[in-house]
Structure 1
Amino acid sequence: MSINTIFSDFCNSIKMIEDEKWQSRVAEITKKINKKYYDSDDDHNHRLFVGSVGRRTATNKVSDYDILYILPWEVYHRFNNHSGNGQSDLLQEVKECIKERYPRTEIRADGQVIDVTFNNGYGLIEVVPGFENDNGSFQYADTNDGGKWRTTNPRPEKQKCTVDNDATYGTFRDCTRMIRVWKNHRGFVFSGLLIDTLIDKFYENNSDILENNSYSSYPFILKKIFEFLSEQNEDQQYWHALGSNQQISNHGSNRFIREARKVVDKLDGVDFDNESEVLKCFSEIFGYQFRQFVNDSVTRTTEDFATTYFSGIDIKGSFDIECVVSQNGFRDHSIGYYLSSKLGTIFKNKHLLFKVTNLDLPINIDQNNLKYYWKVRNFGVEAERKGQLRGHIHVGGKTKRESTKYKSMSHYVECYVVDNDVVIARNKIIVPIGEYEDAR
C-alpha cells in the first residue's frame, strides 16, 4: 500500500473512540454530583472534559478521563472556612458522594483529584471539583502542604487545539496523537499538555506548511516535528501552555529531546523517495500500531504486542533493567561488561538474571497494586529451527531468569509495569548472543 493509505489508516486507527461504558459511568457520576450540589437529576451539565480527552488529542489507548465538575461557590466558602485542611475535606465529601453510586469501586481522594478506578482494564475517571471564576478559569483544591487553592484554565487550551486543527485541516491532532504513540512505544514520560503545546509552537514556527496536509506529506511533516523537538533546551524547567499560557513542566527529565534526536538520526539516513525505506523507518519509530498496516504478516504472527495485549498504554514513569550474566566456574558480570568487550556479545550456555531497578513513578500510584510482565523475543535461524522464536507476554515479578541458547544479535527482553491492565512504564534490553559456548 502507499504512504498516503498507510498513514491514513494509522491515524484513523489511533483516534479516541467514545466508549459507551465510559459515557454511562461519567453520566452516572455527573447525575450523582448534580443531585447533591444542585438538587437536579441532570446527567450532563456542570462538567467539563479536560486533559487530552477534553482537547481531543487523546489516542484510542487513553487510560483515563479527566473531568472537572463545576460546584456552586457556596461550597467553596464552606470548605474555605474550615479550620483544618478544607481542600482535603472537600475531596473526601465528593468522594463519598460518588461512593454511594459505586460502593464496590476503588475510589481515592488525594492531592488534587478523586480517582475512580474501574476494574477489567477500564482505567479510571479523574474527578476534579472546581469553582468557576468570572474570567472562565477555575479554582480547585490541592490537599498537599496543609491545603491550598490552585487555578487552572482549560477552556482556552481546548479552543486553541480546535483552532490549530482547523488551520491544519486535521493534521494538528493527527500529529499530537502520533507523538503520543511514539512516546508510549519508546516508554518515556512526555506530558500530554506539553506535547500539544510543542506541536502548537511547531506550527507557529512553520506556518509555511500549514496547508501541507495530505497523508503522503506526513513523513516530511513528522521529520520537521522531530527536528523541532530535538532542538528544545534540555535545561528548560517549564513551558507556557497553548491557549492558557499556564506554566507546565515535564516530569521525564526532558528525555523527549534526547529521544527525538535519535529519531532525527534515523530519518537523516532515509531516502524519502524510497517508499519502502520510509515505511520501514516509521515502523521502527511507532512500533506495532504502525507496522501492522505496513506488513500484513505482522497481524498473523503469534507474537504478543503490548498495544493489543493490554487495554491501554500511558507511560507515567520509568525504570531500568539490570542484567547479571553468570556461568558455573566463572565470575558474575553485568551484561554491559560483555557488550563493552571487543566482540560486543555474550555467548551460549550463560545464565541471565534480569531485575527491575530504579523504578520511578508518581507518588499517587500504589506500587502494591502493580504487576510486572515480561516478553522474551528470540530471532535467528537456530531459534527458528528449534521452534523457539518466542514473543509471548507473561506475568511475573521484578526479576526474571533466562539462559543463552541461540545465536543472534537481535534478541531482546522487555518488561512492562502495569497498573489495572494499563502499561505505565516499559523498558527493554538487547541481548546479543554469539557463537562460542565456552568463552568467558
Structure 2
Amino acid sequence: MSTASRFDKFLENIKVLPSQQVAALTSANAIARKLHSRYGDTPYSDDSRMIIGSYGKGTAVRPPRDIDVLYFMPYADYSRFDQYRGNGQSALLQEIKRLFQERYPKTKEIGGDGQVVVVDFSTGHTVEVLPGWRATGGGFLVPNTHNGGSWQHVDHNAEIKFVADSDIRSLGNTRNLIMMMKVWQTNCSVPIKSLVLEFRSTSFLSGWEYAKKSTTYYDWMVRDFFGELVGKTNSWHTIPGTNEKKHYGDAWLSKAQSAHGRAIKACEYEAAGKDLEAAYEWRKIFGSQYEF
C-alpha cells in the first residue's frame, strides 16, 4: 500500500461512524430535553442547546469519547445562583446533578467537574452538560466552581469557526490532523489537552508549505507537526473569542519527542519504498487503527 492509501485507510478507521454520531446526538438531546423540562420557559427546540466540543467542531474520533452540550438557561436562574453567598456555580451544578439522578438512576456516573455535569450512560455514551447563558456582545457565561466560584466568559462559536476556517483553507487537512493527533493522544497516553492539539494543528498548517496537499504528504505532515510541537513546550495560545490564555505545559514533551523520532524514521522508510517498515513505525504512534 502507498503512503496515501495507508493514511486514507487510517482516517477511515478513526472517523466516527454515522450510527455513532446519531447515538451520541440522541443522548445529548435526551439530556437537553430533561433540562428543558425543569428550566425551559419556551417550547423545546434545538435552539435550546448547542453541540460543542469535538462533535461541534467535526473532530470526533473512534472509539467515541464524550459529546459536549451547552444548554441555554433562563436569565432568572442566573440571577438566582449569582445571589448565593458562596459558590452559586457549584450549587447550580449540584441542582442539575440531582435532576439527572432522578431521571437516569442507572447511569454509571454523574458528577460535577469544574464547569460541567457528566452523565455516563451504560450504553457507553458520555454526555458532558454545560449550563450557560448568552452574553451581551457575544459568547456565553458559564459556571466555574474553582477558587470559590465564578462566571466565566467562553465563546464556543468562535472556537468552532476557528477550526472550520482553517479546515477550509487547508482543504480538509486541519480536521484530519486534529483527529490523528487525538488518536496519538489516546494510544500513547499523552497528557496533553485536546484543545492544545487543535490550536497547534491550526497554527502549524497556517504556515506549512504543503498545507493544501493530499494524503500523499501526510507522512511529512505528521513528522513536521511533531517537530514543531516539541518546540512549543510551555507556550500558550489565546482561546478564540476570549482573552483567556491556554498554556501548553510540558508534561507531554517526552512523548512528543518519541513520536517525532518515530515519524522521522517512518518518513525515511517511506522514501526508501519500505512500506511495511514505515507502517510499523506509524503503528507505534497511532496504534492498531493504522493498518499495514
TM over 0.5: yes
Matches within 5 A, 1:160-309: 160-206=162-208, 208-212=209-213, 214-232=214-232, 234=233, 236=234, 238-241=236-239, 246-250=244-248, 253-255=251-253, 256-267=255-266, 269-276=268-275, 277-291=277-291, 294=292
Determine the C-alpha separation between the residues in 2 that align with 1:278 and 1:244. 42
Determine the C-alpha separation between the residues in 1 that align with 2:121 and 2:144. 24
Q: 1:35 corresponds to which letter in structure 2?
A: S
The one-character-per-residue Cα deviations of 1:200-257 (angstroms, maximum 9, x if unpaired) are: 1101222x32321x2222112222212211222x3x1533235656322346624254
Cα drift, residue 191 of structure 1: 0.9
Determine the C-alpha separation between the residues in 2 that align with 1:64 and 1:27. 14
| Counterpart in the other structure of 2:161 | 159
| Alpha carbons 1:34, 1:43 under 8 Å: kept | no
* Aligned with residue 85 of structure 2, among 73, 83, 86: 83
Counting aligned pairs with the same residue, the percent is 27
Determine the C-alpha separation between the residues in 2 that align with 1:281 and 1:287. 10
Q: 1:56 to 1:64 in 2, by over 3 A?
A: same
| Counterpart in the other structure of 1:385 | none
Determine the C-alpha separation between the residues in 2 that align with 1:102 and 1:133. 31
The one-character-per-residue Cα deviations of 1:407-435 (angstroms, maximum 9, x if unpaired) are: xxxxxxxxxxxxxxxxxxxxxxxxxxxxx
1:113 is aligned to 2:113: no
Cα drift, residue 151 of structure 1: 1.7
Relative contact order (alpha carbons < 8 A, sep ≥ 6): 1 or 2 greater?
2
Cα drift, residue 146 of structure 1: 2.3
Matches within 5 A, 1:344-363: none
Q: 1:88 to 1:285 in 2, by over 3 A?
A: closer
| Counterpart in the other structure of 1:34 | 36
Cα drift, residue 41 of structure 1: 5.0
| Counterpart in the other structure of 1:100 | 102
| Alpha carbons 1:191, 1:251 under 8 Å: kept | no
| Counterpart in the other structure of 2:14 | 14
The one-character-per-residue Cα deviations of 1:116-150 (angstroms, maximum 9, x if unpaired) are: 11225x14211111111122211111222322222
RMSD between aligned residues: 2.3
Matches within 5 A, 1:361-400: none
Q: 2:39 corresponds to which letter in structure 1?
A: Y
| Alpha carbons 2:142, 2:153 under 8 Å: kept | yes
Determine the C-alpha separation between the residues in 1 that align with 2:250 and 2:74. 36
Q: Normalising by structure 1, report the TM-score.
A: 0.60
Q: 1:264 to 1:217 in 2, by over 3 A?
A: closer
Q: 1:53 to 1:246 in 2, by over 3 A?
A: farther
| Counterpart in the other structure of 1:51 | 53
| Alpha carbons 1:69, 1:127 under 8 Å: kept | yes
The one-character-per-residue Cα deviations of 1:71-105 (angstroms, maximum 9, x if unpaired) are: 12221111101223211111122223333322332
Determine the C-alpha separation between the residues in 2 that align with 1:285 and 1:26. 32
Determine the C-alpha separation between the residues in 2 that align with 1:192 and 1:129. 21
Cα drift, residue 36 of structure 1: 2.1
3-state SS in 2 of match to 1:281: helix
| Alpha carbons 2:266, 2:279 under 8 Å: kept | no
Matches within 5 A, 1:125-164: 125-164=127-166
| Alpha carbons 1:29, 1:101 under 8 Å: kept | no
| Alpha carbons 1:87, 1:149 under 8 Å: kept | yes
Runs of at least 4 residues of structure 1 off by over 4 A? 242-245
3-state SS in 2 of match to 1:75: helix
3-state SS in 2 of match to 1:115: strand
3-state SS in 1 of match to 2:271: coil
Q: Normalising by structure 2, report the TM-score.
A: 0.88
Determine the C-alpha separation between the residues in 1 that align with 2:138 and 2:174. 25
The one-character-per-residue Cα deviations of 1:48-91 (angstroms, maximum 9, x if unpaired) are: 22222221112112321121111122211111012232111111
Determine the C-alpha separation between the residues in 1 that align with 2:235 and 2:228. 17
3-state SS in 2 of match to 1:196: helix
Cα drift, residue 258 of structure 1: 3.0
| Alpha carbons 2:226, 2:257 under 8 Å: kept | no
Greater strand fraction, Structure 1 or Structure 2: 1
Determine the C-alpha separation between the residues in 1 that align with 2:267 and 2:11. 23
